[in-house]
Structure 1
Amino acid sequence: MANPSKIKEGSVVYSLGELDGKKVEYDFAKVLIYLEAKGRMLFGKHFKIYEEDKSVLLRLCNYMVKDYDNCSKYGIDPDKGILLTGPVGCGKTSLMRLIRHIVPHRRPYELIPARNVAFGFNHIGFKIIEDYGNGRFYCFDDLGVEPMGRHFGKDCNVMGEIILSRYELFLSSKIPTHATTNLNAEELEKRYGKRVRSRMRQMFNLIAFDKNTKDKRT
């Protein structure tokens, strides 16, 4: 991509900031304009960015564009993945689907519902854990509400095992993993155990919506 500070959607060119030599100086106000427009393309004309969500979006955007100064300011490690938490319906999935579009010059992650992974285990067994422990980029959506896996009479906490595999990948290759969840730290530990929760602390930057964020699907 010749100039990552400009993104073309149809006949419209959106500016996200200024290209200064080899570095883009992103302008958050311009990024928001693009994200709202792209959101309408992806999710329909009803999509809007809410004022109360802008602080979450600011952190996500700084992470995506690897603005090291602002990441440091907000306590974000650009090498780790994102764990985006918040109540049901607050817009976690939509934002994770949306923000990857501001860096089209970078390798995108795939959004995979955690429940689909568990269902996949039920059909093909432990190969699913190998498949998601590979070098691809993933965001596991709705982590913690998926059912336990069961294949030929053997139960498995599928996402817990995949997190452990992705942790090894993170250590060896610095390949990040992202996830969204409605659960808090205690609930995640109860669901996956202390070992997985400990790995998650090392793998993820926690970015959280306010617990009182309204359900945007109502």
Structure 2
Amino acid sequence: MTADAYDAVAVLYAELFSDALDGSPSDRATLAAFAEVVRATGPGPVADLGCGPGHVTAHLADLGLDIFGVDLSPVMIDLARETYPGLRFEVGSMDALDMADGTLQGIVSWYSVIHAPPQDVPSYFGEFRRVLAPGGHLLLGFFESENDPVTEFDHKVTAAYRWPIDDLATLAGEAGFIEVGRTLREPLEGERFRQGRLLMRQGTQFAGEAVGLTPAGGPGE
């Protein structure tokens, strides 16, 4: 199980990744763009789904979002609560969220959907769409498979998949999301794969455009 695998490495994982954003201006810019468009849609809660030890949750809270974290791993949640006592963290599953329809203004799934078997990803996106308010935003972070099909790889914790960015965007679109922007970045030192980010919105109302992300259909796709 994914939860058991992350429970077993939670302390080491938290030590390794607690400052991961410090070395990636591109990732910080992407998260800042997400925070900006969410703030532009109006007040409301944001969920960091698959939050791990909470470092991305805390970063987005510093950017002004009313955010809380959800993770399958109880040990990860305990670490997050200990490290960031002023934020809310809870144990839960991304594909069965204990939330009413239309509750959230935003969702971050930062390297968490990568663990879902490809055939299950549409159900995850359907659950994300259910809990997002119309016009709410979804940010996906994942490992990109460039020109290959969806590819399983030897993730250090548990089974995981790399996705072609177009394929993941298409699945999200079929679940009712509209692409706002995308980025790709090359691996940093110590990384093996190119990294993809997709910013999507739910519904038909859109207030503002993402800063630092290439609009769908624009140059750089």
Q: Sort the TM-score into its range (normalised by shorter chain).
A: 0.3 to 0.5
**TM-score where L is the length of structure 2:** 0.39
Structure number with the higher strand fraction is 2
Q: Greater CA radius of gyration, 1 or 2?
A: 1
**TM-score where L is the length of structure 1:** 0.40
Structure number with the higher helix fraction is 1
Greater RCO (CA < 8 Å, at least 6 residues apart): 1
